[in-house]
Structure 1
């Protein structure tokens, strides 16, 4: 293989690896750990599922801000408080956590397994 092929392979490998490295300031937590945080008044709870999903099944502590609305509505949240994000499986909330991190939130918790793991 020539040098260009090695560079392309290295770039692809670096990209794939970067997708699995946790982002600083984002912590994955279990459902039980999320429940334990309900007592803390300095934590905001955000459900990033669609409104229909939220209405069908949600926890009252979580405020619904769909993932598609989060980039524009995150400014309504307090950046000085920690944020717990949840979705159905944990994938959208992981994306939401990265959006919040880019917008300056310092302490973000993503619920592993999302609502699927709640029961």
Structure 2
């Protein structure tokens, strides 16, 4: 089987899409999520992502992009339409809820 590239977008591209109210899951741990997250994002820690059933195209974010890439691969393997957010919250410059900001 050939390796498929993981579909991904930048944090800037995701910020532009926020007006469309996209489905976003944040795969960080709950304490990380509560310290600051994108408005409308749902917290689904990486360890639980295999039980998550996206109903629509879903953007996956974490702190740096590593866990979200793993989560994206898991969900893609299960047939879901998911897109990794490169750079994660470390690269996010938009508004956040909770925590500082």
Unpaired runs of 5+ in structure 2? Answer: 94-101
1:3 — aligned with what? Answer: none
1:58 — aligned with what? Answer: 37
Equivalent pairs, count: 92
Unpaired runs of 5+ in structure 1? Answer: 1-17
Between the two structures, name the one with larger relative contact order (CA 8 Å, sep ≥ 6). 2
Q: Runs of at least 4 residues of structure 1 off by over 4 A?
A: none
TM-score in terms of structure 2 length: 0.82
The root-mean-square deviation of aligned C-alpha atoms, in Å, is 1.7
Q: For residues 103 and 44 of structure 1, what CA distance do their matches in structure 2 show?
A: 17
Q: For residues 57 and 18 of structure 2, what CA distance do their matches in structure 1 show?
A: 12
Higher helix share: 1
TM-score in terms of structure 1 length: 0.70
Out of 66, 77, 83, which is 1:109 matched to? 83
